Structure 1
Amino acid sequence: MASKMRNPRGNAVAPGGGPTAANTKKAKAAIPGMHRSASKQRVMNMQAYDKEYFDHNLGPGRRSSITAKPKHSLKTIKDSKFSRSYRQIKHKAQDSKTYIINPKDANSVKWDIFMGILIAYSGVTVPLVVCFPGFQNQSDWSTVSTVVDVCFGIDIVRNFVVGYHDERDELVVDHVDIAKKYVRTWFVLDAVSTIPIESIISLIDPQADVSHSYASIQLFRILRVTRIVKLARLAKLRTFFSKAEETFGLNAGVVRLVRLILLVLFVSHLLACFFHLLGQPNDPPSHEPLDNMPDSWLCTADKPKRCLRGETDSVRYLYSLYWVITTLTGVGFGDVIIVTAFEKLYAIFAMIIGASVFGFVIGNISTLLESMDKRAAMYQMKMMLVKDYIRTRNLPVDLRVKLRRYFEHYLSRASLFDESSILGEISLSLRNEIVHETCKDIFQYVQHPPSFDIYWTI
């Protein structure tokens, strides 16, 4: 019978030098459910990684305090995992054969804000140009109007190279898809409101604008009214407010309140301009006396013998705006007297518009103010329930004071929303990003290996 041999550690060894069957079973049992070669390689990798991390971060001369500022901040953690989708989008845009502008880029947002200001400027000046002939004859305003039209033309070209986010919130960088989407949405409106019709007519017939013939005068009156089409640009202001709210993190209630105020101001401005146009529909010739002009509210305002047609555009606009405000608010002092049938019909229309707009605005403002003060509403409701409970249970005075003080302290710091419910309804990746952002003050003091990703799930 062959005798068993023992190695220097005292373990039994088979005659051939290999391990015995008992030792083999014992070795396999050390790492259950795993291949020995894979486990050995994994252990070696972990040991090498731990040694490298210790030498690099916790070796001699290195700070190992938990309160020390880590070398790898929260930005490194987030960039390692949660910014991967953004980098993929960025690389895809760089690999594209055509130049595509990211709509969330800082310069792109600045341009959108600039165009929003120009749209608001057009909403103010276009009614003035149409309804006040002297306004458009000023060279300074004409130059500014030309510059604005050029900017809108540049914006049309730019919109063909600005990417957009699809239903899956992915950035579309294909030039054909971008062009199709823009043509189906805003292209027609932008093109119609930007074409300089009057400039084209002047280039075709340079003498048309200086001719005093009846046909030339009527043509330019019609062209002047066609500028109203430029007001269609105001439809894009809704998109502008949405982008501004998202980019700058503005309060949604405040943005909505500003929109309602601007709506009232614009409606008043528009009605005032067209009220002046009814009083003076034609440009008075320089050789014709003002007394020979047909009667209108401009010749009976304030005093019967006073004619406002000889006043400046700013004075006539002030009278028009004054009449509109008094009509919309239902005051109607009666010092601006309407004369013609068209003016009376316009007054009826203005009163209907005023009742509708003011009713809509006042109702929305009331709802908006209530929604903006949710904490106060919740506090009042809770305290009413507490008082009812105290009265029902007939608690002694000392317990009443303690209970009220407790709820006053608790409600002053309580959250208005259920955070667990909100986080439970969103995707895991977005939930992790939100947790990393809200807990970044804690994460920045946690030492971790360079390539270690922390996952938090609620």
Structure 2
Amino acid sequence: MRVTKFSLKYIVWQILVGISIAISLIDAPLAFVLDFPLKQSTLLLDGIMTSIFIIDFFINHFFGPEGKNKKNRLRSSAFWIDLLASIPFDLIAYWFNLPHWLRILRLIRVLRMLKFVQMFVTIGNLAIIPSAVKAAFVISGTLITINAIGCGWLWIYPPGEVDQVTAYIKAIYWTITTVATIGYGDITPSDNLGRIFTMFVMVGGVVMYGIVIGSISKMIEASSRHKEQSKTKLNDLRLFVEHYALPEGLSNEIFSFYGHILTKRLSENDEQIIAELPIALQRDIKTYMNMKLISNVPAFKLCSIECLKDIAKSLQQMAYSPGEKIITTGDIGSEMFIIGHGSVEVFVGSNSVANLKSGQFFGEIALLEEVKRTADVVSQTYCDLYKLSKDNFLNLIKKYPELLKNMEKFMAKKLSALKE
């Protein structure tokens, strides 16, 4: 099955490739300017990076979302960049004992920066990518840029007698103070090439500073947008209640209802978002939302995925206001309830015996036996309940015998616990 740009596996793979590119973009210029010797660790890193790049090359140009365009493949600059970046230059130099200066070829991997930028833009625009991943890409891009500028400084002013670690730290220190436009003046260019390089870094630093701050601000705003909308909604509601001098009891009911709505949904547009999708997708979304709910029910935990899907499709959503009776003592039960949101209280006579909250359930005995209800169940808050009727349950156990076995085992354990 061909992967798509929006499939989870493809996105995870692209994130892994992005990490590999980031490591390669830091390692390649650093190894070049400091002239690192070829060690086992260097060769191992080169082998791992190369393996990832080769796999990514075939995914992108032969098997992935863009792999169908065979005619334009050889004309694509991305094809040749990915191909060149997949060559294991360190391993080739080691195996064939090539001249040391040929290691400059590994800088070809810096061309992968173009792909990193493309991935950065793509991930930044995808709403399905978590903010933490986007923040990681911003931080990675910043570190790569700082490292590249620092390596440029080391290329202009080699370490000489100074040890490499100290020289690199000084180069990064100079880079950060210059990019941040602080410029203490303790490290300065001593020739025209260095001064020209510094001027470009200063100008680029202003641009980079704006990009980083803008990206982080955008992510913070996006992550807190729902909270701000909720605060605005509740503040408007408070002003409305005060303006019309509504009674305290009525205003409490209004705030309770809106509190229920705001905690139940991600945003006010939830229903609209789902409604704009095709009917088939709407059904699938609601089924999987219900599956998440019933997967926490002990009697359903051992059921197969197909069984859970059919149970989820059989659920009927019910809404109850605070104080509304859901189950009455003495009635013949014909359904069980799962609490999607809110809380209920269970009474035996006038005594409260239990408080049930989201994810819990009640009335399940009615699915197995035709008995009278032995308790009253009353909603404490605004509740969203999901009802599974006995008729639907009987149809389900015909198709999935394991469901009946699981339910009977669960009921036996529950009755045994009650007797103890």
- What TM-score, normalized to structure 1? 0.54
Q: Which residue of 1 aligns with 2:299?
A: none
CA shift, 1:192, in A, is 2.1
Are the equivalent residues in 2 in contact too, given 1:160–1:182 (CA < 8 A)?
no
Distance (Å, rounded) in 2 between the aligned partners of 1:124 and 1:236: 15
Task: Call closer, same or farther: CA 1:157–1:309 in 2, change over 3 Å.
Answer: closer
Aligned length: 301
Give the counterpart letter for 1:425 in structure 2. Answer: E
Once the two structures are TM-superposed, the CA of residue 267 in structure 1 deviates from its matched residue by 1.0
Matching residue of 1:413: 263
Q: CA deviation at 1:331?
A: 1.7
1:17 counterpart residue number: none
- How many angstroms apart in 1 are the aligned matches of 2:117 and 2:60? 20
Aligned partner (choices 135, 138, 142) of residue 264 of structure 1: 142
CA distance in 2, matches of 1:258, 1:149: 19
SS of the residue corresponding to residue 186 of structure 2 reads coil
Q: Which amino acid aligns with 1:233?
A: R
Higher relative CO (CA 8 A, sep ≥ 6), structure 1 or 2? 1
Deviation of 1:201 (Å): 8.1
- What value does the CA root-mean-square deviation take over the aligned residues? 4.3
1:36 is matched with: none
> How far 1:418 moved relative to its partner?
2.5
**Counterpart check, 1:378 vs 2:278:** no
2:25 is matched with: 123
Q: Post-superposition shift, 1:165?
A: 4.5
The whole-number CA distance in structure 2 between the counterparts of 1:268 and 1:250 is 29
1:301-336 Cα deviation digits (max 9, x unpaired): xxxxxxx52122111100000111111222212111
Task: Answer whether contact 1:102 1:163 (CA < 8 A) is retained.
Answer: no
> What is the DSSP-based 3-state SS (H/G/I as helix, E as strand, rest coil) of the residue aligned with 2:139?
helix
Q: Return the letter of the residue paired with 1:347.
A: T
Q: Output the CA distance in 2 between the equivalents of 1:388 and 1:189.
A: 60
Indicate whether 1:194 and 2:86 are aligned: yes
Equivalent positions of 1:32-431 (< 5 A) are 115-133=17-35, 135=36, 137-144=37-44, 146-148=46-48, 150-151=50-51, 154-155=54-55, 158-159=58-59, 163-165=63-65, 177=68, 179-180=70-71, 183=74, 184=76, 186-195=78-87, 208-209=99-100, 220=101, 223-237=102-116, 251-280=129-158, 309-390=160-241, 392-393=243-244, 395=245, 398=248, 402=252, 405-406=255-256, 409-410=259-260, 412-413=262-263, 415=265, 416-431=267-282
CA change 1:350–1:157 in 2 (3 A) is closer
Richer in strand (by share): 2
Determine if contact 1:272/1:320 at 8 Å carries over to the other structure. yes
Q: 1:397 to 1:438 in 2, by over 3 A?
A: closer
Indicate if the aligned counterparts of 1:159 and 1:182 stay in contact, CA closer than 8 A.
no
CA contact (8 A) 2:18 2:119 kept: yes
Could you list the runs of 5+ residues in structure 1 that have no partner in the other structure? 1-89, 91-99, 167-171, 210-219, 281-307, 453-458
Cα distance change of structure 1 residues 101 and 434 upon mapping to structure 2, 3 Å threshold: closer
C-alpha contact (below 8 Å) 1:327/1:350 kept by paired residues: yes
Q: Is the radius of gyration larger for structure 1 or structure 2? A: 1
1:103-135 deviation digits (Å, cap 9, x = unpaired): 9999988866654443222111001022212x2
Paired residue secondary structure (1:309): coil
> Which one-letter code corresponds to 1:119 in the other structure?
I
- What is the Cα deviation at residue 410 of structure 1? 4.3
| Range with greater deviation from structure 2 (224-233 or 326-335) | 224-233
Q: Is the 8 A contact 1:326 1:332 kept in 2?
A: yes
Give the TM-score normalised by the residue count of structure 2: 0.58
CA distance 1:145–1:165, shift in 2 (3 Å): closer
SS in 1 for 2:184: coil
| Gap change, CA 1:396 and 1:202, over 3 Å in 2 | closer
Change (3 A) 1:208 1:259: closer
User: Is the alpha carbon distance of 1:161 and 1:105 closer, same or farther for their aligned partners in structure 2, counting shifts above 3 Å?
Assistant: farther
Q: Percent identity, please.
A: 17
Mark the runs of 5 or more structure 2 residues left unpaired by the alignment. Answer: 295-311, 315-387, 401-420
